[in-house]
Amino acid sequence: MESSLETIFSNYEGKRENIIPILQKVQEEYTYLPDDMMAEIAKYTRVPASDIYGVATFYAQFRFTPTGKNIVSVCRGTACHVRGAPRIFEEVINQVGLEDEGTTEDMEYTVETVACVGCCALAPVMTINEEVHGDLTKQKVRKLIQAKGEENG
Amino acid sequence: MDKEKRQILICRGTGCESAKSPEIQKALEDQLEGTDVEVKFTGCHGMCQQGPIVIIEPEDVFYAKVKPRDVAKIVDQHIGEEKTVEKLVYQDPTTKKRISTYHDIPFYSRQKRLVLRNCGQINPEKIEDSLEAGVYQGLEKALGMSPVDIVSEVKESGLRGRGGGGFSTGMKWGFCQTAAGKPKYVLCNADEGDPGAFMDRSVLEGDPHSVLEGMIIAGFAIGAEQGYIYCRAEYPLAIKRLQIAIDQARENGFLGKKILGSKFSFDIEIFHGAGAFVCGEETALITSIEGNRGMPRSRPPYPANEGLYGKPTLLNNVKTYTNIPLIITNGSGWFSDIGTEKSKGTAVFALTGKIANSGLIEVPMGVTLREIIYDIGGGVLNGKKFKAVQTGGPSGGCLPESLLDIPVDYDSLIEAGSMMGSGGMVVMDEDTCMVDVARYFLDFTEKESCGKCVPCRVGTKQMLTILEDIVEGRGRPGDIERLEEIAWGVKLGSLCGLGQTAPNPVLTTIRYFRDEYEAHIYNHSCPAKQCKEFITFHILDSCVGCGLCRKNCPVEAISGEQKELHTLDQDICIQCGVCYEVCPPKVFSIEIRTGEERPVKEAA
């Protein structure tokens, strides 16, 4: 664990302007930002940990809890909204057994909404592990989630 | 380019990639190995809904919705027997007519593609393609000019910022050029945060070298040596292709020390935005690159004088930079001949929502909204009735049918209560509830408000609460007036563009669709039949008893024997709408009604 943090640090100078790129790299590696790493980043950049948390909590990209094996992001862009994104979101959380955005207890799925994937012509859209699925209906969502479930055994 | 050469272009924009276009490319390459047919992939053609798109040259044949299993047919029939594969040819969604040649499709034939000139034409990952298309010729010419001449050329062209504000690009460049202080910076705003917009993404994915070229020219003109592209992390493909382009530009001497043998040195890095809408605002973007919470600050001082790290900084949008090489190559006169008196050049829009042809379009400034929606977009999807068009994203407004004949330019749209924005254009039909649309945008801006200034932080929250009350059946007399009062307070009192424009969706929907607000508040009905609190589902006598709705209903509210009329229990129904979605179109026996009494449910 320590060593990969050192590898990340070795690519950046310990300066304030590198906080966001470092946070992004850490999250890429661990899927979230663990508390102990935040303290290390604070030490390395010589910026107070409270300040690092301040930056990290400001941006939608950063998470503070581990994610499930599959990340389902439902687009809530305007084009998706008028073409039924709220209903798609409802179906996704129903299918994986969540009440709202979040991670399932078995750590299989993390469901989140994103501002816009930029595939508005295919609305409504969601991504499963960065793969884009468009022209969704409730039925299509059900099939996609069930297929993921089988794939994961 | 050899016009007679047989080549196959496969679109690999994000939309087409999601529909398996890389697989199609691979299959074509495998099956055509050893022939003289060139298979290449390109960036976005803009008609993502018809993807994956395959174009065959020199015949200019446009195949739409191609699947990997169609590849054999294209190879055997088109390439082998020289016969067009009719069933893959693009079919107009409104007229159902098949149109085989790319440039005859109304969606394209009425456009004027300047910013999108190379998108869909070149392989964005090969610099040779870009060079063949003339990219970097503008840079070469610019390096032979004086920086002062470049700035006056840009000024005279009349180009205005394509990020939405519409400030004169040439004047901005002029301020940076004369600003005291070193080093200077050139920033490209690719933080396309407007939901419902993907113009910048397509340009970055389809023609990254033209964006770099515009930035390098800007660097030379204002005397900067370093540039940054602030790109959303949600656009991984755009970031990947930009990075490839930057590396290639360095290898070919367009970036780095002593560019093309001149004394000018310039380099570009990508900064990955971490997901904050407010970072599209220039001072917030700069604060973010410096490693802080991306909050805006008051202006002046403007970034031209005190920007990144307190130094003079030029910040323009992706499309603004993409226009620059054209202006330098063809001259300001050529550019200012396009468009209207005060808005020059073209406008790029992401035309989406309830529209027959969704996609990315580019038109000369001054065409009317009607031309865009009906002539290019093919009208409203499924023959429904048009209700409104939304431009400018969360900062813009919803315009009704009566305003469809206004020309599209910066000033006319602002006068109508909306704005050009960076180019989202979402069409709404009779099934879209305008109060819900206002609620939707406020939900977005309330979440994205950075919280620094009170009018925006508190005002968006209060407006959202009132709108939620209205769509959820708790609207009270006086709500509309209260909304208007808060909206003006937020508009006039907020620090940055986010707050100043956040009330626009509320104000325009009240201005043009007040009757819908009143229906929700006073009659407990939703004219668009969207708001769950005000609708009931009913099974009509035409039901054939296929059982689909019964099987799909999540709460078992529907009962009935197979092949017999089904019934729906209003006491159990949760208005999820699944029955309406699964009822076969031929039968179509589910009706949504609004304004009817509903059984009172106990709170869960």
Q: So what's the pLDDT on residue B601?
A: 58
Say what the pLDDT of residue B405 is.
Answer: 96
Per-residue pLDDT, B604: 41
pLDDT at B600: 65
Radius of gyration of chain B (CA): 26
> How close is the nearest chain B Cα to the Cα of A84, in Å?
10
CB atoms near residue B601 (< 10 Å): 10
pLDDT computed for residue B504 by the predictor: 96
Res. A2: pLDDT tops 70: no
Distance CA A118, CA B448 (A): 18
Residues of chain A with C-beta less than 8 angstroms from the C-beta of B65? none
In a 3-state reduction of DSSP, which class is residue B375? helix
Write out the two tokens for A91: 């179906």
B186/chain A closest Cα distance in angstroms = 17
**Residues near B172 by Cβ (< 8 Å), separated by ≥ 6?**
B161, B304, B314, B316
Q: What does the CA dihedral B38, B43, B48, B54 come to, rounded to 10 degrees?
A: 0
Give B333-383 pLDDT, tens digit per residue: 999 999 999 999 999 999 999 999 988 999 999 999 999 999 999 999 988
Q: A54: Cβ–Cβ under 8 A, 6 or more apart, which residues? A: B293
Across chain A, mean pLDDT equals 92
With contacts defined as CB-CB under 8 Å, which chain B residues touch A55?
Answer: 291-293
Residue of B nearest to A60 (CA): B275
Reported as a single tens digit per residue, the pLDDT across A70-82 is 999 999 888 899 8
- Interface confidence (ipTM) of the complex: 0.91
Note the pLDDT of residue B1: 44
pLDDT at B70: 94
Report H helices in chain A. 2-10, 19-30, 35-45, 49-58, 78-82, 85-96, 138-151
Quickly state the pLDDT bin for A153 (edges 50, 70, 90). low
H-run or E-run covering B26? helix B21-31
Q: In whole numbers, what is the pLDDT of chain B averaged over residues?
A: 93
User: How many CA atoms within 13 Å lie on the side-chain side of B70?
Assistant: 20
Nearest Cβ partner for B294 among A16, A58, A119 = A58
Q: Are B196 and A121 within 8 A, CB to CB?
A: no
Q: Which domains does chain A have, with CATH numbers?
A: 2-58 (1.10.10), 70-151 (3.40.30.10)
| pLDDT for the residue numbered B581 | 85
Q: Which residue ranges of chain B lie beneath pLDDT 50? A: 1-3, 603-604
Residues A119, B14: C-beta atoms closer than 8 Å: yes
Q: Domains in chain B and their CATH numbers?
A: 7-109 (3.40.30.10), 127-336 (3.40.50.11540), 346-429 (3.10.20.600), 434-522 (1.20.1440.230), 535-594 (3.30.70.20)
Helix and strand numbers (H, E) in chain A are: 7, 5
CB nearest to A60's CB, from B51, B271, B276? B276
Bridging pattern class, strands A109-114 and B7-11: unpaired
3-state helix, strand, coil in chain B (%, to 5): 45, 15, 40
Please, how many CA atoms are within 13 Å of residue A138, restricted to the half-sphere of its CB?
20
* CB contact (8 A) between residue A121 and residue B274: no
Amino acid B92: pLDDT: 87
CB B137 within 8 A of CB B325: yes
